[in-house]
């Protein structure tokens, strides 16, 4: 995969290729350029376009103007910049592309023919990587250099495929099919769109059974040859196999080619072979040739008619079956007849016929070439055959049995043999791309608009500058590490980009199944190998004279559980690997314990994700728990590991959040335990390897305080840190932070388990091993809907009714909901709410509220996604370990409790927050078959290393609705998919603004309404929860779920009212202090009330909330003084609370230091709390004379905070 891998690197992709940056992107090292001009010029030269009018965009389409902005990106898109003819004229020094002289009459025809393979290779040897050749009056540019190929191959505004030459001749057969139409042709666009899904990995898996049956049938014919001791024309039989395969999977047709060894060639097959060969002949002759009264011209017409009539007949029969609702074969034809684009467009019969013929043209000969040449090379390389056989038996391929998807994917060595065959005997020797504008190639070579450029695939695959020892057949070139070191453009047997081969996976799967089955059953001996050559008169590298003897195999090796890697030269390494049985499943994993400290579920989700990852890798002893719940179990769990002889006795991974620097609720006991354990005497974690990932938020000055403490304590308790602690910032892209670390954690864990072993290996083998492990894990990656099973229930069912009784799920009622601000002046709103509660509370406590979504938004989302709101169902399985996220609505479901989707969407789903990665992945999945470019782009933003892209993405698509508006074609999400991907509503907390001594069975809240205005989009985004309170303002007796939660003990108002009290806040931070004041008012008679000061920041009089109430407190003497700071005062006097604190420094020092007063701070964490601390620090230093080094401790002692982000 293409990653920048280095902070100074950037991926640049050409406009139009954004969706496929992995294939088409180019990495540049930014340290090599001083400024944007130099960078732009290098990019221009790389892409072969003039840099002058080129601009850069980010992945979301915003222009990037400065070099600094470029530096801040991981990927940029280079847009525009095609060279004008004028610019080319200016460049007088352009070198001429060399080439052979050629004759007046024939041009260079005889420099290329009659042996195009060897003659073209020789041209490059003589003239270098760019050669001009004139064929039939057409001046072409040939190349064998990946550097130029990268520019030409991938379809852009500069180079693209144009149907001409031999391909144009093939149009006589392929007609309006996608192989023989131009990309701008609506036929290609429609065909490509409809056919893509039929070649998706999932669709191709479904063809495995047919491929396997046909390979078995081919084996039966081979058996007849063996019994009769007759030689086999391998190419003909491989063609029989591939023709039948595409016939069967394409349109359910059986040509009968594999019935028995003497079956004559089907007229369809010979007809098509004739047409294809004739196409090449026509392309080498002047246009008039086709018009001559030649037998070949009559025959071509006759053959095409015959093929058309066979296919048309099949189409009509199939349409008949469909119209009678009969069961139809699940093949390409049924698919083409049924499938429509999102706009409702389908293919007409003629086009379908042409697509069927196209698949037959493009899909049979290329694969039969590959299989024939593979068998030919293997016949001469017994070591490679032995390795293939070992893999075949290890994987468990059997005669007459359809291999499973897993088995097919495990045939990795065989895949390498196939890839090497595609290099060594490239089936499609060359592809052609036409320059769409005048342009300059690297090196300054001018190419005029309209020039046909030939990418000489075969020559490139034998280019000694690209391949070490290119004339040796070596499947080890395809070991992952070796492959990753080569340019992506150095091997293109299937071409690349939108006009690349649609059947690539189909062909590879077919070849893997075929080769494994043929090799398992027979040994192949090449007869007269020196006489084998290729046919230059067909478009593919078809073998000639390839005769072989097939003998039933008698020497199958015994299966081992060793992964086959190489036919191998490095025997020492091979031996080590063999001895250690390098299969992820056999890795002796240590026990794993995943612990979390989490209030709102993020850390728990991450711990779960990690746990399920190691389980999928094969670990069996895995425990996951909250830190506090684990405490009583710890001794037993760790003691059992102590006696282990493994290098890693036990791996402990802690994921924890922090709240105002203190542990989350379910980590408090653990914190006490680790703080109080005498680490010198007891080393309870000796032998345990640990890693810590902290969830925090940089808005808090106490960012990551508790996770850091955890990390240090675990080490002090005897544990061994095996990876530097990871940190995620919830104010940024915390999921992205986690994804980055997560891969490292899982990888390092595994590496560690094999520390000693890995150290004994070379770095090459070390990385090879990790690739195996990672690949394996990824292959087993869960689907989006794993872990949730539901059963829908019908209206007649008794539970259907109970699911509708939603009122019973609410425990509270909104009793008062009134405005606190002067909205006419402030244009903002703060609601005073009174809500009934069923639990006792104390001043300072919080109320946790579950907000409800606007039913209108619920309707729009459900309709857009194709969800039935009144679907009623019972969850029958909710396995949080298998769910893609434990922060999804699915994770919140209770097994056996009936529920409606409407209820869940109103109460449980976060419909207003930014779409999370899972939801975006779901969209990407849905788009795969509709708009692959969009799907790729969405996959890109959700990939682990695309933190920045994701950040930009959610800026653009702030809500799920905006995502839906951008991709309205995603309109059929299943209930399970929705539940598993949509994030659960996070409850909101509010400081209680009352005292139970004044309000008993109800609490009051002061809720500031979030109204985020995006001026660019001209949109207002309402806060999920505060918007809910605002929306229901006029409604009576609104029911909701609300629970009292206690605040940290430190934030309680002083019990003794004779303790001086200083309260500092801004905005709705006043809320708890309203409770404190009510409490002091109610208890005023108990003891003399000490001085009570409030420092309160507002913008101006308009948002001065609870003004009357505060005045009343002052009047009653409950509040000594309300010090109000207006930051946007109409009188021009602008102050923040910290300024008032400084003004009243002497008073503060006196109250706090001399009279034991307590100071409380409440409000948003962002700026205020930090500034207040700074101001207090100055007071302590300047008035109290406290040394700077002691200020922090002093503040810790007398100042408490309850701040929120
Ligand atoms: C202990 C505690 C006590 C609290 N006490 C009070 C209190 O007394 N009074 C009070 O008013 N609040 C209080 N809060 C804050 C309160 O819990 C909520 O955070 C607040 O009401 C906003 O919630 P919301 O659902 O309305 O907004 P949200 O929907 O959560 O939005 C919050 C912010 O995120 C932004 N945002 C949301 N989605 C996106 C997006 N896709 N892209 C960019 N930005 C986005 C919003 O514009 C907004 O600025 C307290 C919080 C805590 C933790
Ligand atoms: C080893 C086997 C194969 C090889 C080497 C191969 C190679 C190629 C190449 C090089 C192209 C690009 C041609 C060009 O630029 O003009 C191509 C296109 C194509 N291939 Fe294949 N192919 C193989 C198998 C298949 C199979 C099995 C199918 C169908 C089942 C198939 C269907 C197509 C189609 C439809 C196109 C045209 C795509 C388009 O232009 O939109 N190919 N193939
Ligand atoms: C009231 C409150 C206080 C917080 N205090 C801190 C803090 O002191 N330091 C910090 O790094 N993050 C702080 N955070 C951020 C959380 O730790 C962060 O959102 C984390 O992702 C929550 O993880 P959880 O969902 O597992 O509880 C605070 C969040 C809230 C709501």
pLDDT value for 616? 67
Range of the domain at 477: 95-173+429-492
Q: Are residues 873 and 961 in the same domain?
A: yes
- Residues in contact with ligand 1 (CB, 6 Å cut-off): 846, 912-914, 954, 958-959, 988-991, 1005-1008, 1010, 1012, 1021, 1023-1027, 1068, 1071, 1204
Instruction: Return the pLDDT at 678.
Output: 76
Q: How many CB atoms lie within 10 A of CB 636?
A: 8
- Phi, psi torsion values for 960, nearest 5 degrees: -60, -35
Residue 590 has pLDDT above 80, yes or no: no
- pLDDT over 60 (residue 751): no
User: How far away, in angstroms, is 697 Cα from ligand 3 center?
Assistant: 6
**552 in Cβ contact with 521 (< 8 Å):** yes
* Confidence (pLDDT) at 759: 39
- The protein residue whose alpha carbon is closest to atom 1 in ligand 2 is 367
What are the angstrom distances between the C-alpha of 63 and each of 36, 420, 563, 1032, 1053?
13, 42, 49, 42, 54
Q: 141 or 102, which is more confident?
A: 141
Task: Please give the average per-residue pLDDT across 1069-1086, as a whole number.
Answer: 92
- pLDDT band at 779; cut points 50, 70, 90: very low
Q: Per-residue confidence at 630, pLDDT binned at 50, 70, 90? A: very high
The answer as to whether 202 is a domain residue is no
Alpha-carbon gap, residue 182 to 204, rounded angstroms: 26
Specify the pLDDT at position 484.
66
Least confident of 326-340, 820-834, 913-927, 1067-1081: 326-340
- pLDDT confidence tier of residue 743, bands split at 50, 70 and 90: very low
The reply to whether 631 and 717 lie within a common domain is yes
Strands 720-721 and 688-696: parallel
551, 226 Cβ separation under 8 angstroms: yes
Predicted local distance difference test score (pLDDT) of residue 606: 85
**Adjacent-strand bridge partners of 626:** 596
Question: Residue 1070 pLDDT more than 70?
Answer: yes
Query: If you average pLDDT over residues 1190-1203, what whole number do you get?
Result: 87
* Domain shared by 871 and 725, yes or no: no
- Residue to probe by mutation, ligand 1, list 955, 988, 993, 1031, most atoms within 8 Å of CB: 988
CATH for 66 = 3.10.20
* DSSP, residue by residue, 464-526: TTTSSSTTS--GGGGSHHHHHTS-GGG--TT--STTS-TTHHHHHHHHHHHHHHHHHHEEEEE
Q: Out of 248-262, 778-792, 1061-1075, pick the least confident.
A: 778-792
Q: Are residues 901 and 935 in the same domain?
A: yes
CB-CB contact of 530 with 544 (8 Å): no
Q: Are residues 660 and 605 located together in one domain of the fold?
A: yes
Tell me which of 616 and 471 has the higher pLDDT.
Answer: 471
954 alpha carbon, closest ligand: 1
CATH code for position 705:
3.40.50.360
Residue 128 placed within a domain: yes
> CA-to-CA distance for 1155 and 967, rounded, in angstroms?
64
Q: Would you call 430 helix, strand, or coil by DSSP? A: strand
Residue 1103: its pLDDT value, please? Answer: 95
CATH number of residue 472's parent domain: 3.30.43.20
Is residue 459 very low, low, confident or very high in pLDDT (cuts 50, 70, 90)? Answer: very high
pLDDT tens-digit map of 2-34: 444 445 778 888 776 666 666 677 888 888 888
User: DSSP per residue over 643-669, as a string?
Assistant: T--SS-SEEEEEEE--BTTB--GGGHH
Question: Mean pLDDT of all residues in the chain?
Answer: 85
pLDDT (0 to 100) of residue 617: 62
> DSSP string of 1040-1105?
EEEEEE---GGGSPPSSTTS-EEEEEEGGGGHHHHHHHHHHHHTTTTSPPPPEEEEEEESSGGG-T
- Who has greater pLDDT, 45 or 319? 319
Write down which residue in 953, 985, 1017 finishes a domain.
985
Average pLDDT over residues 598-612: 84
Res 158: pLDDT? 83
**Long-range contacts of residues 532-538, Cβ cutoff 8 Å, at least 24 apart:** 532/376, 534/117, 534/425, 535/277, 536/113, 536/114, 536/115, 536/116, 536/117, 537/277, 537/280, 537/281, 538/273, 538/276, 538/277, 538/280, 538/365
Give pLDDT, residue 1065: 96
Using a 6 Å cutoff on CB, does residue 696 contact ligand 3?
Answer: yes
- Asked which of 460, 492, 524 is the last residue of a domain, the reply is 492
pLDDT at 511: 97
- pLDDT for res 23: 67
**Cα(591)–Cα(350) distance, integer angstroms:** 62
Position 122 scores a pLDDT of 95
Identify whether 14 is part of a domain: yes
Task: Give the gyration radius of the chain's Cα atoms.
Answer: 36
By three-state DSSP, how is residue 1193 classified? helix
Q: Looking at per-residue confidence, does 280 or 876 come out higher?
A: 876
Calculate mean pLDDT across residues 1053-1057.
Answer: 86
Q: What is the DSSP letter of 316?
A: H
Q: Which pLDDT tens digit goes with each residue over 71-91?
A: 888 788 887 655 444 444 444
DSSP string, 1001-1044: SEEEEEEEPPEEEETTTTEEEEPHHHHHHHHTTT-SSEEEEEEE
Cβ–Cβ under 8 Å, residues 917 and 605: no
179 Cβ inside 6 Å of ligand 2: yes
Q: How far is the CA of 152 from the centre of ligand 3 (A)?
A: 51
**Strand stretches in 204-335, DSSP E:** 232-233
Per-residue pLDDT at 835 = 98
Mean pLDDT of 415-421: 96
Q: Identify the CA nearest to 843 among candidates 1109, 1044, 1121, 599.
A: 1044
Per-residue pLDDT, 780? 38
pLDDT band for position 654 (50/70/90)? very high
- Are 109 and 70 in a shared domain? no
- Residue 1203 host element (H or E): strand 1199-1204
82-86, 559-563, 691-695, 1064-1068: least confident range: 82-86
Q: Are residues 947 and 806 located together in one domain of the fold?
A: yes
Please say whether the beta carbons of 903 and 803 come within 8 A.
yes
* DSSP string across 1113-1146: HHHHTSSSEEEEEETT-TTS----HHHHHHHTHH
In a domain? residue 167: yes
pLDDT at 417: 97
684 and 739 inside one domain: yes
Ligand 3 atom closest to the Cα of residue 1203 is 1
Tell me what percent of the residues of the chain surpass a pLDDT of 70.
89
User: How many domains are contained in the chain?
Assistant: 4
A 10 A CB-CB count for 456 gives 27
For residue 1106, being part of any structural domain is answered with no
Query: Average of pLDDT values for 724-750?
Result: 66
What pLDDT is stored for residue 567 in this prediction?
65
pLDDT-above-90 percentage for the chain: 49
Same domain, 14 and 54: yes
Predicted local confidence at residue 50, as pLDDT: 65
Give per-residue burial for 310-345: e unless 16+ CB within 10 Å, then b: bbeebbeebeebeeeeeebeebbbbbbbebeeeeee
Q: Which numbered atom of ligand 3 lies nearest the CA of 707?
A: 11
The mean per-residue pLDDT over the stretch 927-943 comes to: 86
Neighbours of 204 (CB within 10 A): 22
Of 455, 477, 492, at which residue does a domain stop? 492
- pLDDT at residue 664, as a whole number: 93
Cα atoms in the Cβ-side hemisphere of radius 13 Å centred on 209: 5
* pLDDT higher than threshold 70 for residue 573: no
Is residue 773 domain-resident? no
233 alpha carbon – ligand 3 mean position (Å): 72
Residue 1162 has pLDDT above 60, yes or no: yes
What CATH number corresponds to the domain at position 895? 1.20.990.10
Cβ–ligand 2 distance for 501 under 6 Å, the answer yes
Q: Are residues 883 and 981 in the same domain?
A: yes
Distance 179 CA to ligand 2 centre (A): 8
What is the average pLDDT across 465-488? 85
Lowest mean pLDDT among 553-562, 621-630, 644-653: 644-653
Per-residue pLDDT band at 1165 (split at 50, 70, 90): low
* In a shared domain, residues 598 and 485: no
Does 681 reside within a domain? yes
28-32, 940-944, 1006-1010: which range is least confident on average? Answer: 940-944
What integer pLDDT is reported at residue 563 of this predicted model? 64
Clarify whether residues 866 and 803 are in a common domain. Answer: yes
Which three-class secondary structure string do you get for 234-265?
Answer: HHHHHHHHHHHHHHHHHHCCCCCCCCCCCCCC
Instruction: Tell me how far apart the alpha carbons of residues 831 and 1006 are, in angstroms, rounded to a whole number.
Output: 6
pLDDT above 50: residue 175: yes
Assigned domain for 1049 exists: no
């Amino acid at each position: 995969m293409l990653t920048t891998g280095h902070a100074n690197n950037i991926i640049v992709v050409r406009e139009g290729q954004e969706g496929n940056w992995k294939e088409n992107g180019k990495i540049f090292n930014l340290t090599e350029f001083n400024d944007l001009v130099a960078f732009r010029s290098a990019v221009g030269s790389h892409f072969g376009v003039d840099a002058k009018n080129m601009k850069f965009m980010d992945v979301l389409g915003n222009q990037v103007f400065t070099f600094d902005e470029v530096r801040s990106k991981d990927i940029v898109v280079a847009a525009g910049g095609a060279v004008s003819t004028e610019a080319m004229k200016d460049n007088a020094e352009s070198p001429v592309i060399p080439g052979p002289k050629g004759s007046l009459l024939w041009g260079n025809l005889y420099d290329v023919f009659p042996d195009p393979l060897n003659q073209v290779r020789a041209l490059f040897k003589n003239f270098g990587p760019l050669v001009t050749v004139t064929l039939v009056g057409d001046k072409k540019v040939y190349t064998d250099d990946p550097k130029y190929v990268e520019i030409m191959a991938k379809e852009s505004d500069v180079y693209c495929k144009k149907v001409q030459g031999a391909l144009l001749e093939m149009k006589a057969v392929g007609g309006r099919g996608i192989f023989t139409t131009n990309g701008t042709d609506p036929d290609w666009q429609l065909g490509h769109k409809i056919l893509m899904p039929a070649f998706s990995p999932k669709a191709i898996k479904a063809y495995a059974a047919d491929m396997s049956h046909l390979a078995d049938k081919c084996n039966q014919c081979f058996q007849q040859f063996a019994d009769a001791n007759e030689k086999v024309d391998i190419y003909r039989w491989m063609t029989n196999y591939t023709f039948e395969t595409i016939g069967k999977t394409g349109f359910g047709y059986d040509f009968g080619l594999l019935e028995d060894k003497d079956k004559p060639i089907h007229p369809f097959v010979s007809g098509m072979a004739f047409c294809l060969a004739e196409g090449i002949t026509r392309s080498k002759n002047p246009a008039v040739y086709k018009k001559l009264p030649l037998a070949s011209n009559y025959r071509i017409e006759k053959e095409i008619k015959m093929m058309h009539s066979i296919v048309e007949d099949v189409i009509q029969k199939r349409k008949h079956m469909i119209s009678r609702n009969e069961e139809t074969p699940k093949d390409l034809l049924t698919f083409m007849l049924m499938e429509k684009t999102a706009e409702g467009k389908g293919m007409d019969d003629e086009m379908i016929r042409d697509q069927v013929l196209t698949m037959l043209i493009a899909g049979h000969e290329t694969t039969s070439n590959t299989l024939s040449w593979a068998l030919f090379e293997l016949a001469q390389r017994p070591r490679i055959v032995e390795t293939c056989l070992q893999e075949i038996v290890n994987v468990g391929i059997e005669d007459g049995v359809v291999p499973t998807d897993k088995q097919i994917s495990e045939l990795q060595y065989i895949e390498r043999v196939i890839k090497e065959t595609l290099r060594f005997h490239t089936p499609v020797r060359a592809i052609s791309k036409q320059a769409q504008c005048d342009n300059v190639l690297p090196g300054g070579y001018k190419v005029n608009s309209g020039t046909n450029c030939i990418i000489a695939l075969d020559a490139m695959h034998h280019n000694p500058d690209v391949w070490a020892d290119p004339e040796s057949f070596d499947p080890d070139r395809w070991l992952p590490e070796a492959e990753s070191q080569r340019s992506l453009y150095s091997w293109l047997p299937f071409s690349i980009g939108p006009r690349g081969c649609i059947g690539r996976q189909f062909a590879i799967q077919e070849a893997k199944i075929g080769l494994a089955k043929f090799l398992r059953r027979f040994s192949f001996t090449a007869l007269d190998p020196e006489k084998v050559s290729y046919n230059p008169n067909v478009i593919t590298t078809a073998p000639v004279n390839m005769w072989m003897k097939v003998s039933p195999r008698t020497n199958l090796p015994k299966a081992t559980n060793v992964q086959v890697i190489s036919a191998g030269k490095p025997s020492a390494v091979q031996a080590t690997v063999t001895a250690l049985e390098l299969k992820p499943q056999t890795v002796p994993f240590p026990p794993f314990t995943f612990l979390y400290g989490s209030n709102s579920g993020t850390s728990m989700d991450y711990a779960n994700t990690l746990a399920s990852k190691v389980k999928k890798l094969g670990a069996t002893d895995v425990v996951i728990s909250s830190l506090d719940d684990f405490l009583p179990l710890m001794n037993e769990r760790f003691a059992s590991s102590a006696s282990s002889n493994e290098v890693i006795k036990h791996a402990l991974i802690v994921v924890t959040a922090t709240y105002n620097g203190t542990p989350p609720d379910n980590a408090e006991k653990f914190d006490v335990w680790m703080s109080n354990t005498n680490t010198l005497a007891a080393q309870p974690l000796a032998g345990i390897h640990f890693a810590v990932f902290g969830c925090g938020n940089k808005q808090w000055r106490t960012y990551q305080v508790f996770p850091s403490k955890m990390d240090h304590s675990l080490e002090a308790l005897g544990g061994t840190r095996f990876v530097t602690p990871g940190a995620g910032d919830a104010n940024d892209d915390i999921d992205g932070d986690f994804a980055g670390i997560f891969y490292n954690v899982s990888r390092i864990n595994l590496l560690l388990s094999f520390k000693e072993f890995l150290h004994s290996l070379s770095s090459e083998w070390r990385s090879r091993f990790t690739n195996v492990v990672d690949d394996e894990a990824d292959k087993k990656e869960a689907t989006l809907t794993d872990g949730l099973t539901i059963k829908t229930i019908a209206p007649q069912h008794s539970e259907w009714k109970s699911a509708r009784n939603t009122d019973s799920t609410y425990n509270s009622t909104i009793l008062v909901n009134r405005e606190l601000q002067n909205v006419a002046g402030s244009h903002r709103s703060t609601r005073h709410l009174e809500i009934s509660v069923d639990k006792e509370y104390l001043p300072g406590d919080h109320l946790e509220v579950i907000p409800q979504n606007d039913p209108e938004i619920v309707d729009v989302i459900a309709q857009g996604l194709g969800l039935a709101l009144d679907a009623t169902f019972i969850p029958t399985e909710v396995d949080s370990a298998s769910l893609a996220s434990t922060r999804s609505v699915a994770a919140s479901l209770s097994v056996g409790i009936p529920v409606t989707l409407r209820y869940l969407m109103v109460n449980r789903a976060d419909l207003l927050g930014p779409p999370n990665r899972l939801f975006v992945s779901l969209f990407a999945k849905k788009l795969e078959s509709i708009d692959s470019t969009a799907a790729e782009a969405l996959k890109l933003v959700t990939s682990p290393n695309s933190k920045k892209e994701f950040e930009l993405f959610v800026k653009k698509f702030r809500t799920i609705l905006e995502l839906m508006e951008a991709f309205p074609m995603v309109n059929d999400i299943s209930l399970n998919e929705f539940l598993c991907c949509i994030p659960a509503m996070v409850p909101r907390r509010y400081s209680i603004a009352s005292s139970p001594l004044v309000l008993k069975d109800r609490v009051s809240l002061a809720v500031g309404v979030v109204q985020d205005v995006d001026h660019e989009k001209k949109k207002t985004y309402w806060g999920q929860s505060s918007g809910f309170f605002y929306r229901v303002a006029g409604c009576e007796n609104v029911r909701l779920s609300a629970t009292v939660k206690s605040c940290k003990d430190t934030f309680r108002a002083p019990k003794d009212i004779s303790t001086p009290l200083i309260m500092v806040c801004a905005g709705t931070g006043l809320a708890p202090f309203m409770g404190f004041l009510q409490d002091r008012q109610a208890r005023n008679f108990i003891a003399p009330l000490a001085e009570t000061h409030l420092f309160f920041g507002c913008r101006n009089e308009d948002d001065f909330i609870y003004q009357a109430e505060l005045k009343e407190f002052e009047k009653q003497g409950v509040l000594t003084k309300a010090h109000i700071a207006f930051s946007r005062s109409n009188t021009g006097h602008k102050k923040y609370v910290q300024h008032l604190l400084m003004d009243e420094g002497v008073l503060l020092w006196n109250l706090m230091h001399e009279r034991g007063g307590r100071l409380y701070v409440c409000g948003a964490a962002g700026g205020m709390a930090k500034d207040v601390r700074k101001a207090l620090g100055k007071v302590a230093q300047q008035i109290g004379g406290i040394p700077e080094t002691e200020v922090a401790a002093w503040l810790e002692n007398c100042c408490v905070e309850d701040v929120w982000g």
